[in-house]
Amino acid sequence: MEHILGQEWEITPAGGSTGEAFYARFEDQKLFLKRNSSPFLAVLSAEGIVPKLVWTKRLENGDVITAQQWLSGRVLEPSEMDQDLVARMLKNIHTSEPMLGMLSRIENSVFLPETIFQKVLNKLDEEVLSLSEVQNTLSFLRQEAANVHCEEKVVCHGDVNHNNWLLAEDNQLYLIDWDGAMIADPAIDLGLLLYWYIPEDNWQAWLSKYGKKLTNHLRLRMKWYVAIQTLSSIQWYKSKNSSTEMNKWVKFLQEIL
């Protein structure tokens, strides 16, 4: 990275699973650098969803480096996910025509329930598949697969974990880490957020801020996609040999079914 910015810049890894992100600082200038970000980043920046994109540079080896504003701020606490600002921002994302148009040109496909189900099923190993909770979940998913189709297809973030919501010092809210973006049923984002952070008695109130009613069909779709995501989490923590986290998500399966 030094040969792009110059030796005077102090560059440090930004962490994360890919090792492709860095912080850069020179005097009062601060940037967040990432290698091979999606072209989708440009429209996310233009829509004010992520910190401003400052520049993009293509290297001789074909890699693309993007530089964004490095903002001082903090991630949201789990207890803050019920705020109006979160609901309104997610609604803006789900109704953004520029974002949908750009991602449609990049992805060229829509994630349907059966596609997502098969993708997750293919990753489950024998030990995970042998768990009774997983077997019960797979039965539920197969039984309801035909009932969760929805005509509405939007840009979904795919991981609305509170750690991905950045509140800057000027109180501007951003949703970062868009590597898992997809065109799909908005129930994917809504279900994860509600199941993880909002007491069920408050779901309708939260959805009213978002601008949607809690119908039986939406409730089923959210449950279906949360169950799928939970299976994926169980397998991921199993692969990391993190039995404590894996068992936490197995217990969560019992609670939602």
User: What residue type is 182 in one-letter code?
Assistant: M
Distance CA 117, CA 194 (A): 21
Whether 159 sits among the annotated catalytic residues: the reply is yes
Q: What's the maximum distance between 2 C-alpha atoms anywhere in the chain?
A: 60
Query: Catalytic pick from 159, 170, 185, 189?
Result: 159
DSSP states along 195-248: HHHS-GGGHHHHHHHHT----HHHHHHHHHHHHHHHHHHHHHHHHTT-HHHHHH
Distance CA 191, CA 152 (A): 15
- Asked if residues 182 and 102 have their Cβ atoms less than 8 Å apart, the reply is no
- Asked if residues 230 and 253 have their Cβ atoms less than 8 Å apart, the reply is yes
CA angle 11, 16, 18 (to 5 degrees): 90
Residue 75's H or E segment, with its range, is: strand 73-75
User: What residue type is 31 in one-letter code?
Assistant: L
Catalytic residue numbers, as ranges = 159
